[in-house]
Amino acid sequence: MQIKSLPLTSGWRQSRQRLEIFMLFCMFIFVSGTKSAAENDAIDPVKDTATNISNVSSLDRLHADLFIHYDKMVPPMVGGKGSNINLGMTAHYFDIDELNGKFIMHCWLNIDWMDELFTWNASEFDNITYIHLQSHEIWKPQITLFNAAGYDDGDGSSSLQESQVLLMSNGKFIWVPPAIYTAYCNLNMRDWPYDQQHCKLKIGSWSRNNKIQADFTKLDQSSAYAEALVPSTEWEIVSGQAKYVTEDYYHYIEYSFVVQRRSSMYTAIIYTPASCIVILTLAAFWLPPKLGGEKIMVNGLLIILIAAFLMYFAQLLPILAENTPLVVIFYSSSLLLVSWSTIIEVVVLYLATTQHKRRIPEFLKKVLDGPLGTCLLLSHFTFEGEQSNKSNENGKREMEEHIYESSSNDYADADPLYVNPIEIPSSQAIQFDWVLLATALDRISFLIFSLIFIILAIVCAV
């Protein structure tokens, strides 16, 4: 039984081997056909266009002729040397981020360069003198902002926007992409809000094969560049210029802008309250000394107002600025002066309201009754004091005579030593002298504070 089954098993194995060989052959044919189709689909459309020139327009033929052997990774050449790049700028809108110290410029870049590989005879292509290309089709200069405040990958793609490129028949490329540049700017806030800022944009290329040249030289309010500028609500460009800078391993164009703040609004918001603070601080010294509570209340309100302005400045201005604005110095100095004024008013209130038992020192009395008192406008108060003293002396004399006459009948037999005239102390005169001293302190403080405010206004004048 086993000997008879051997031929059957051997035949089955041979049939299986033939089947496997057939399947491998079919698979090889299928893979070869797929690969051939893929290669046919991957044929360069430019080359395919070049082989079917009779079926395309003149523009397509020109495009195919220009790009048939073109590699956009190779920089353009003119006469065996790298092509020069002309770079210009047309400002559109700008702003300054004061808290972060950044200068933001919205502009159009005017870039052009030559490439001898992209020249053609217009008569051979139906007098086509220029064509439009997509920016991703060709080589573009690696324009970047060297002092950028944001991320830049080195080729300017994070700043330049996509736009078409104009190619002339003489091989000149003209590219006008919109750009948004954010650069660091060292802000000088000393004269805020009447400040001028000097900001720079350093635009160039890291490549040494292509030299960048500037065709932007000046920008002011009367130039043609200023016509395309959208007015800013807070800033205006005073002037702008460009210069070419060459370093050891790179070169760039430095665009310098002088911008000035529009400060009409700040005049009403900041300087008008400052004037009121000065006037109220000085006017408080002319209130009667016994109204010290009201004077302290006025100074307290001024302190709250000044503190509110300082907090407003802290939100509006950079805290770590290199120069403190003069306006902030004025307000902080005013806060210190008003605080000292409050202390003085407390002393004046104490002198004017406390019941004193002793007169003021005699030398102070002479000073207040002398020329200084006249200069401080105290003569009227001194006159009232003398009238009060005379009234007190007359009243004292009349009272002494009345008491002496009434008591002489009762104590006629008594010893005269026991009958002393009653001395009436002049407490009102004593109190008046202290009020006079408090008033003099107010008037002297008024003169001193007026002088300090004048000096402070001159120093902080913008």
Tokens of 282: 């000085």
**SS3 of residue 172 by DSSP:** strand
Which residues sit opposite 106 in a β-bridge?
93, 180
Contact 102, 183 (CB under 8 A): yes
Contact 262, 240 (CB under 8 A): no
DSSP state of 230: P
Cβ atoms within 10 Å, residue 22: 10
Q: What pairing do the DSSP bridges indicate for beta strands 235-246 and 251-261?
A: antiparallel
| Cα–Cα dist 284/294, whole Å | 9
The per-residue pLDDT for 16 is 65
**Best CA proximity match to 67, nearest among 117, 115, 141:** 117
Contact 199, 261 (CB under 8 A): no
Q: How far is CA 101 from the centre of its chain?
A: 6
125 Cβ contact list (under 8 Å, min separation 6): 58, 59, 61, 62
The per-residue pLDDT for 403 is 40
| Cα–Cα dist 111/326, whole Å | 43
In the block, tokens 């109204």 appear at 291
Angle, in degrees to the nearest 10, between helices 326-353 and 427-459 = 180
| Cα–Cα dist 331/325, whole Å | 10
Q: Give yes or no for a cis peptide into 425 (omega within 30° of 0).
A: no
Mean pLDDT by groups of 10 residues along the chain of 462 residues? 43 62 66 52 45 62 88 82 82 88 89 89 90 89 84 54 89 91 90 90 73 53 57 85 80 89 82 92 90 88 94 86 88 95 91 80 77 73 47 45 44 41 59 83 92 92 70
Report the greatest alpha carbon distance in the chain: 186
In the Cβ-directed half-sphere of 94, how many Cα atoms lie within 13 Å?
31
The per-residue pLDDT for 276 is 93
Q: Could you tell me the CA-to-CA distances from 196 to 96, 105, 241, 312, 459 in Å, in that order? A: 12, 17, 16, 21, 19
The per-residue pLDDT for 77 is 80
The reply to whether CATH 2.60.40.60 applies to domain 73-262 is no
